[in-house]
Chains A and B, each alone.
Chain A
Amino acid sequence: MSPFSRRAFAAGALASLLTACGGHGTTGHRTTGPGTADTAGHDPTARRPRTTAGPVPADSARPLARSVPVRLLIPVIGVDTPVIRLGLAADGTVQVPPVTDHDRAGWYRHSPTPGETGPSVLLGHVTVGPYGDGVFRHLARLHRGDRIEARLENGTTAQFAVTAVRTVPKTDFPADDVYGNVGRPELRLITCGGTRTGDGYADNVIVFAALSGANLPTPGER
């Protein structure tokens, strides 16, 4: 082969390589979801049965007055999201936030508000299909003692400390642990995790937290 031919081949090979890389790049950008979902599916922190449980904090704070949550903050995993209200779906399951680009968390309105005595239930997506990561994408990374804040409509900020993180099969969802009565203000954060099954996940990741304090609004703040 002449040098010209070799150069031509080299140019062609380079173009082919660039094409392959470009294709990957484009697809990868558009489908952040599956890539990260796959990661979630093999997340070593999400293996079952797994519970990073421990003794619950002994010094639970006093219950707060009822006020619906408007914002949720989990600094350690970078969550700062508005909170919408959720009810029941037609099939009797709990509603989940809509699958949109700007994913948000939702509070189950038949549960206590954060800070009231009882399990206040908030839900969020781990991934939102073509839009990529959900607001609770890294929920399984939480550990006991991590701080969670729920800002309430009345200006109060309820502060919670994580007491346990559990990854459970959806077929064995611990409804009693999640929705059952408790003797103090607690929080339940729920998302999906584990291996992928079709267009969803096999497991739920549930974070249990207990009220640890509150910042009450100053008189001029409300």
Chain B
Amino acid sequence: MRRTVLSALALAGTAVLLGTGPAFADGATTPSPVPSAASPSTQPKESTEPTRTPEPTRAPGKGEPTRAPSQGEPTRAPAGGQVSVRPSGAPDTGVTASQDSGTGGTAIGAGAAAVLALGGGTVFVVRRRRATGA
């Protein structure tokens, strides 16, 4: 009898440990802040602001694209643009986290429940067999 109870408790403890293991693994993979050296490198380092004088064309060596690539619409004359260089496309201002990161908790819970159900079934069968004297 006592052995049965103890085995059931051990089973429960195992289920908890199964759950906490991946949780710790999650924590370990939590991304650290982006290295500070990487961030500034993505930002322009210019110390002087571009002048407000209209620029009819850009030097080809600067790696900047041609302006006003807007989608099929007639654009204003580049020479008079208040925005001196018009970016192409739409800004990408949203980064979502990976899709699978939210399923960890569900998997842990389902695994623990499966382990518990299996253990419980085993205990039940053993007790029935003992009760019937088999």
CB proximity of B65 to chain A, nearest CB, Å: 3
Q: Which of B98-132 contact A (CB under 8 A)?
A: 98-99, 101-102, 104-110, 112-113, 115-116, 119-120, 123-124, 127
Q: Residue A192 contacts which of B5, B44, B86, B94 (CB distance < 8 angstroms)?
A: B94
Contact A15 B16 (CB under 8 A): yes
B57 at the interface (CB under 8 A from A): no
Contact B82 A119 (CB under 8 A): yes
Q: Which of A178-205 contact B (CB under 8 A)?
A: 179-182, 190-193, 196, 198-201, 204
A76 at the interface (CB under 8 A from B): no
Tell me whether A16 and B9 are in contact in the complex, defined as CB-CB below 8 angstroms, given that A22-B23, A68-B49 are known contacts: no
Contact B12 A11 (CB under 8 A): yes
The interface size of chain A toward B, counting residues with CB under 8 Å, comes to: 92
* A72 and B112 alpha carbons, distance in the complex (Å): 48
A27 at the interface (CB under 8 A from B): yes
* A90 and B73 alpha carbons, distance in the complex (Å): 23
Cβ contacts under 8 Å, B81 to chain A: 179, 181
Contact B49 A19 (CB under 8 A): no
Tell me whether A4 and B92 are in contact in the complex, defined as CB-CB below 8 angstroms, given that A19-B112, A129-B97 are known contacts: no
B53 at the interface (CB under 8 A from A): no
* A88 and B128 alpha carbons, distance in the complex (Å): 74
**Interface of A, helix, strand, loop or mixed by DSSP:** mixed
CB proximity of A215 to chain B, nearest CB, Å: 22
Give 1 or 0 for each of B81-94: 1 = CB within 8 Å of chain A CB.
11111111111111
Cβ contacts under 8 Å, B107 to chain A: 23
Cβ contacts under 8 Å, A181 to chain B: 76, 80-82
B69 at the interface (CB under 8 A from A): yes
CB proximity of A217 to chain B, nearest CB, Å: 19
* A93 and B63 alpha carbons, distance in the complex (Å): 12
Q: Beyond the given A2-B1, A22-B108, please list 12 additional residue pairs across the A-B interface where CB-CB is below 8 A.
A: A12-B12, A16-B12, A23-B104, A24-B109, A68-B49, A98-B39, A99-B95, A110-B84, A134-B94, A179-B81, A193-B94, A200-B94
* Residues of B near any A CB (own CB < 8 A): 1, 4-5, 8-9, 11-13, 15-16, 18-20, 22-23, 26-27, 30-31, 33-34, 38-39, 42-44, 46, 49-50, 52, 63-66, 68-71, 73, 75-76, 80-99, 101-102, 104-110, 112-113, 115-116, 119-120, 123-124, 127
* Residues of A near any B CB (own CB < 8 A): 1-2, 4-5, 7-9, 11-28, 30-31, 33-35, 37, 40, 66, 68, 84-88, 90-96, 98-101, 106, 108-112, 116-119, 121, 123-131, 134, 136, 170-173, 175-176, 179-182, 190-193, 196, 198-201, 204
